[in-house]
Amino acid sequence: MPVPRFIVKPDEDGHYVIQEINARALEYFSRRREHIIGKPIVDFMDSENARHFEQAFEVCMKQKVPVTIQALPSFPGGVRVYGFWINPILDISGNAVLIDVMAQPDTADDSILQRERDDAISLLTSIFDVSEVSIVVTDHHRRIVRVNDSFVRAFGWKRDDVIGEDFSFLIAPEEQEVAIRNHDRMMESGMRSSGEMKMLRKDGAVANALFTTATLELSQRRRFQVATIMDITLRKQMEVSLRMAKERADAANNAKSSFLANMSHELRTPLNAIIGFSEIMMNETFGALGSPKYSEYLGDIHLSARHLLEIINEVLDMSKIEAGKVDLDEQPYNIRDLIVSVTRMMTSRAFTSKVEMISDVPDDLPGLKSDPRLIRQVLINLVSNAIKFSKEGGKIHIKSFIKPDGDMVISVQDEGIGIPKEKIKDALEPFGQITDSQHAREQQGTGLGLPLAKAMIELHGGTLTLESDIGQGTKVIITLPERRVVPLDQLIVNTNKAKESIVEKDDTDD
């Protein structure tokens, strides 16, 4: 038969209110459940019993220790007891929030109580032993008083090896001092702690462990610290392996980028020679070639060499950016003039492709402080793409304006075949060419055009984004931060350096 048991909680007035009660306790108080829940416990006691309970509750709550009341007189209902166990119930912060009150029955009920206590101990022991996490219990002298089966399996120590020993011999020598200091501080304060430490297995190997400790107090003079420990050695080894693999991959990538960036002159010079001499021969500068076939072949050589140079330029430019070897030649200039220059230069190619170019750039558009050579290269790339992927009779719109927040926007929009929405991300990745048949017919390069343009804009602290869908054309939007916008009246007029950057440069430039 269960013993009388109930749970109380202090209210704002300092009364201890009944929160839960079992049937046996209802008999003890001779009350119905609805008449007792939510009422102060002292309402159902005489003044002598009420004084004893309130004193015991105060000690239990403040000191967070179990309290026993003995030899109390009998209560209503005919239930005879000779005492009560009063136990604090703590929250996760270690604060006492409830009190569990269990009657000590008369001698006739001792066997019932003993069975209940034996069952509770058996349950706790089973939970302790079957836990997959290693558990070590120490006393206030730092002696190990108990370990569970998981600890034995994980670290190889037998129970006889560790019981009664100072726990610090399980800790790697370089961390013992910190572990001892932490143990003593937590034992004194009753607080919890967690972290990582290095532990020794029986075979001498060092294990990385993740631990959490909590201090339990059975009485004012008996405190124990319970440490739950998880072996994370394998996880640490994997983290180290992944970090080293990443470092090797980064080093290899940096070496590749650095190599390509340094090979700029060696790769471009032979091609520039081929292009230059083929032009001289095509122009018959030093006399006629003879067979008309030679002119045809020279045209192919010249075109192929220029195409190869464009590809090499893209690869080298991207490599320089990745290697951090691009220094911006920043200067204030009239961005409208640059946009007009690019539009005029590309008009002939658009006319050949039967595509109309429309420029919408206000006369009072402010200037821009940036590297004009890179911005020009980006715009040529975007307009070339727009022409390449446009249908006959299509239109290309080039716009620029200042947003309300002060940022400058430059956009190039075509009415071409478009890009599937799910492929937009691929189009902005290096070498990420779109693989559908429509784009495959048009693409004859590295797939670096858009990624290179994006990287150049990001060097300026800006963004390059795409809006597109199949059959709906593509809109490329460049946004440059307000700090790069320069009022027209602050521009330095007719600076030779800016003019040279805006005018189209020879493709043989390095």
pLDDT in tens, 263-275: 666 777 788 888 8
Query: In the prediction, which pLDDT does 508 show?
Result: 38
The one-letter amino acid code at 59 reads V
> Quick check: 315 and 448 in contact, CB under 8 A?
yes
Does residue 405 have a pLDDT over 90?
A: yes
In angstroms, rounded to a whole number, what is the distance separating the alpha carbons of residues 46 and 29?
12
pLDDT band for position 495 (50/70/90)? very low
In angstroms, rounded to a whole number, what is the distance separating the alpha carbons of residues 170 and 462?
56
In the chain, CATH 3.30.565.10 sits at 331-502
User: What stretch of H or E contains 472?
Assistant: none
In the chain, CATH 3.30.450.20 sits at 5-126, 131-231
pLDDT in tens, 49-86: 788 888 888 888 888 888 888 645 445 554 455 578 88
DSSP SS3 for 222: strand
496: tokens are 């030779």
Average pLDDT rounded to a whole number, residues 144-173: 91
Say what percent of the chain tops pLDDT 90. 33
Q: Strands of 314-462 (E only): list them.
A: 331-333, 356-360, 367-370, 395-402, 408-413
pLDDT band for position 494 (50/70/90)? very low
Q: What angle (nearest 5°) sits at the alpha carbon of residue 57, between those of residues 54 and 60? A: 155
In angstroms, rounded to a whole number, what is the distance separating the alpha carbons of residues 273 and 109?
109
Contacts of 94 (CB under 8 A, 6+ apart): 64, 190, 191, 192
Does residue 505 have a pLDDT over 50?
A: no
Does residue 177 have a pLDDT over 90?
A: yes
Does residue 192 have a pLDDT over 60?
A: yes
For the chain, first and last CA: distance in Å?
96
Lowest model confidence (mean pLDDT) among 283-297, 355-369, 397-411: 283-297
What is the number of other CB atoms lying within 10 angstroms of the CB of residue 365? Answer: 19
CATH number for the domain running over 131-231: 3.30.450.20
Q: What's the CATH architecture for 237-322?
A: Orthogonal Bundle (1.10)
Does residue 210 have a pLDDT over 60?
A: yes
Query: In the prediction, which pLDDT does 507 show?
Result: 43
Say what percent of the chain tops pLDDT 70. 84
> Quick check: 101 and 7 in contact, CB under 8 A?
yes
Backbone angles phi, psi at 366, to 5 degrees: -60, 165
Lowest model confidence (mean pLDDT) among 220-234, 243-257, 354-368, 429-443: 429-443
What is the number of other CB atoms lying within 10 angstroms of the CB of residue 6? Answer: 23
Length of the chain: 510
In angstroms, rounded to a whole number, what is the distance separating the alpha carbons of residues 275 and 431?
26
Q: Higher-confidence residue: 126 or 224? A: 224
Lowest model confidence (mean pLDDT) among 400-409, 433-442, 450-459: 433-442
Range with top average pLDDT, 437-441, 445-449, 486-490: 486-490
Q: Higher-confidence residue: 139 or 438? A: 139
Does residue 444 have a pLDDT over 70?
A: no
The one-letter amino acid code at 340 reads V
In angstroms, rounded to a whole number, what is the distance separating the alpha carbons of residues 455 and 452?
5
- Judging by beta carbons within 10 Å of its beta carbon (0-12, 13-18, 19+), is residue 170 exposed, middle or buried? buried
Average pLDDT rounded to a whole number, residues 208-221: 80
In angstroms, rounded to a whole number, what is the distance separating the alpha carbons of residues 6 and 21?
4
Does residue 148 have a pLDDT over 60?
A: yes
pLDDT in tens, 292-326: 888 888 888 887 887 787 777 777 777 777 767 77
Lowest model confidence (mean pLDDT) among 173-177, 240-244, 279-283, 397-401: 279-283
Per-residue CA distances from 62 to 8, 145, 189, 228, 450 (Å): 15, 28, 14, 27, 70
pLDDT band for position 440 (50/70/90)? very low
pLDDT in tens, 460-469: 999 999 998 8
CATH number for the domain running over 331-502: 3.30.565.10
In angstroms, rounded to a whole number, what is the distance separating the alpha carbons of residues 410 and 457?
11
- Judging by beta carbons within 10 Å of its beta carbon (0-12, 13-18, 19+), is residue 162 exposed, middle or buried? buried
- Among residues 375, 258, 254, 260, the alpha carbon closest in space to that of 316 is found at 260
Q: Higher-confidence residue: 289 or 416? A: 416
Per-residue CA distances from 487 to 38, 360, 408, 457, 502 (Å): 75, 19, 12, 21, 18
Query: In the prediction, which pLDDT does 105 show?
Result: 61
What are the beta bridge partners of residue 368?
333, 485
Does residue 97 have a pLDDT over 60?
A: yes
Range with top average pLDDT, 59-73, 101-115, 181-195: 181-195
Lowest model confidence (mean pLDDT) among 287-301, 316-330, 408-422, 429-443: 429-443
Average pLDDT rounded to a whole number, residues 182-203: 89
Does residue 202 have a pLDDT over 60?
A: yes
Buried b (16+ CB within 10 A) or exposed e, 310-341: bebbbbbbbbbbbbeebeeeebbbbbbbbbeb
Query: In the prediction, which pLDDT does 200 show?
Result: 93
Q: Higher-confidence residue: 136 or 255? A: 136
In angstroms, rounded to a whole number, what is the distance separating the alpha carbons of residues 91 and 76?
33
Mean pLDDT for the chain? 82
Range with top average pLDDT, 54-58, 490-494, 495-499, 505-509: 54-58
In angstroms, rounded to a whole number, what is the distance separating the alpha carbons of residues 454 and 478?
9
> Quick check: 422 and 347 in contact, CB under 8 A?
no
pTM of model > 0.85 = no
Q: Higher-confidence residue: 286 or 206? A: 206
> Quick check: 83 and 70 in contact, CB under 8 A?
yes
Nearest-10 Cα torsion for 483, 488, 489, 494: 110
276: tokens are 């230059």
> Quick check: 411 and 385 in contact, CB under 8 A?
no
CATH number for the domain running over 5-126: 3.30.450.20
Query: In the prediction, which pLDDT does 402 show?
Result: 96
In the chain, CATH 1.10.287 sits at 237-322
> Quick check: 370 and 484 in contact, CB under 8 A?
yes
